Chain A
C-alpha cells in the first residue's frame, strides 16, 4: 500500500459516533460565555454546550429561543480546548448549516429552543457535523438515529432542576429495550410499528441489547447525586444545564458533578463531594407544572 494514496473519509457515521464514545463517563456543561466555559473546562467537563440563555432563564423569560450568536460561539471555541457543542431549533436546517460552518463539534437539535418545524426534524445524515437529539422512549431515540443522530440524550424536563422526568425517560428506554431483546424475531415488526421506529434499527437493538449509539442523561440534573443516579440507571454520561451556573458555587458544584459521574458507584466519595456545595438551583417541581409549561413534548 502506498501511503501517499490514503483515502481519508470525513463526516462518516463511525467518526460522528466515535466522538460521543470518547465523551462517555463525562459531563457536558451548558455555558453562556467564555468565562463560564473556562470554569467548566477547569472543573473537568468533557465538552461545553454554548447557548445564549440556560434553560431555566428561557423558562422564566419566555419569548422565542433561537440558535446563539456566532460571535459568542467563536469566543467560547477560542477560550477552551475541549469540544464545543451548540443548539439548533428542531427542524431548523439553516441554523444547523450555520453551526456546521462555524465548525462546532456537535449540534444539539434541541427541544429547549423553540421548534422551527412542528412536523419534521432535520435530516441529520445530510450533514458532516454530528448531532445529538433528545428522546423520551426507544421509538423516539430510533427515529432520531434513523434521521442520522449519532448520540442520544434523555429529554428530561430542562431548566427545572427536577430529575423525575429524566429518570422516567431512561427507565422507559431501558424497558423498551428489554422488551425488544426478549421478543421473538416474529414479533419485531409489530413492535417496530408500535414504537414508530425503523425496523432495521429495532433489529440492531435486539442484536446489541442496547441503543446503537451513546446515550447521555439530560434535563433536570442539579446535584452530584442526581448525576450519579442517571449513571446508575445506565446512562453513558451527563449533560448539566441550569444546574451548575444557577447554583451558589458553580465551580465547586461543577467539579463535584464531574467526580460523581466518574465514581458513581462509590457512595463514600459521593458523600464527600456533596459536602458544602451551597444552595443548588432553586428549581421547580414538574408534578406541579401545567402540560403547557413542559418542553419535553416538543418534537415527536
Chain B
C-alpha cells in the first residue's frame, strides 16, 4: 500500500516507471541524470513505496491490455485516486484520460480530458518543433511528436500548460501531469523536473 505522503526532496525520491512496453529506458536515463532512483514497474508489488509513477510512450492498446492482464490497471488507478503523482507521455496521456474519442480501449481514466489518438495523422505527420511553454521558463522546449495524441477538450478542473491551434499538448490536474510529446527523447530535463518539483512536491 502507498506510504503516507510527506514532502520529499527530489534527490530522495523513488519513481516507478511502467515498464511493460515502450520508451522505458529514456525515462530511466532522464531521472538518473536528475539523481532520482527509479524502479521498473512490471508487477503490482513494484508499486510499493514509490513517490511517483511515469507512464512512458509506447503503443497504448498494447500497454492497456498488459495493464489488465497483470492486474496493474486497478491498483494504479486506485493509487492515483489516493494522490500518487502520475506523469504520462504520449501513450501515458491516453491512459490517464477518462475519455478516448472513438475507442473502448483500457485506460486508467484519472484525468477529466478528452483525448484523440494519432491525432495529427500517421507516422509521416510525426514532427519536431520548438515551442514556448511558459511554466518551463523563457527558453523554448524542443518537442518531438510521434503519431501523437492531443487533448481536444477538458473539464474546468484541468489546467492547460500548452496549447497550439486549439490542441492541448500539456496539461495538469491535481497530482496528474500529461504531455502529448516526448521530453524523454531530448536532453532537456525541464518537463521531468516540473513533475518532480511541482507535481510531486506541491501535491503532497
Contacts and interface: CB of A to CB of B under 8 A. Distances in A.
Interface of A: 1-3, 6-12, 14-15, 18-19, 21-26, 41, 44-47, 77, 81-83, 100, 103-106, 128-130, 258-259, 262-263, 266
Given A8-B127, A22-B59, A81-B118, A1 B66 contact: no
Nearest to A273: B69
A22 B23 contact: yes
B65 A81 contact: no
A18 B123 CA distance: 10
B184 to A, nearest CB: 9
Contacts of B23: 21-22, 24
A80 to B, nearest CB: 9
A263 B43 CA distance: 10
Given A18-B182, A19-B146, A81-B117, A6 B130 contact: yes
B130 A19 contact: no
A23 B126 contact: no
Contact of A6 (B42, B61, B66, B131): B131
A15 B118 contact: no
Contact of B24 (A25, A46, A83): A25
Given A18-B146, A259-B66, A1 B124 contact: no
A104 B122 CA distance: 8
A18 B144 contact: yes
Given A3-B132, A22-B58, A15 B126 contact: yes
A24 B24 contact: yes
B123 A130 contact: yes
B183 interface: no
A129 B35 CA distance: 37
Shortest Cβ-Cβ A-B pairs, 5 listed: A1-B132, A105-B123, A46-B59, A25-B21, A18-B146
Contacts of A3: 131-132, 164
Contact of B123 (A2, A19, A21): A19
Contacts of B58: 22-26, 46
Interface string B75-114: 0000000000000001100000000000100000000000
B131 A11 contact: no
Contacts of B103: 81
B57 interface: yes
A44 B126 contact: no
Contact of B61 (A9, A14, A22, A41): A41
A44 B66 contact: yes
B32 interface: no
A272 B126 CA distance: 38
Contacts of A7: 129-130
A57 to B, nearest CB: 27
Interface string B114-154: 00011001111111111110000000100011110000000
A128 B121 CA distance: 14
Contact of A15 (B61, B65, B122, B127): B127
Nearest to B181: A18
A77 B118 CA distance: 13
Nearest to B23: A21
A127 B174 CA distance: 43
B185 interface: yes
B22 interface: yes
A7 B131 CA distance: 9
Nearest to B185: A18
A248 to B, nearest CB: 22
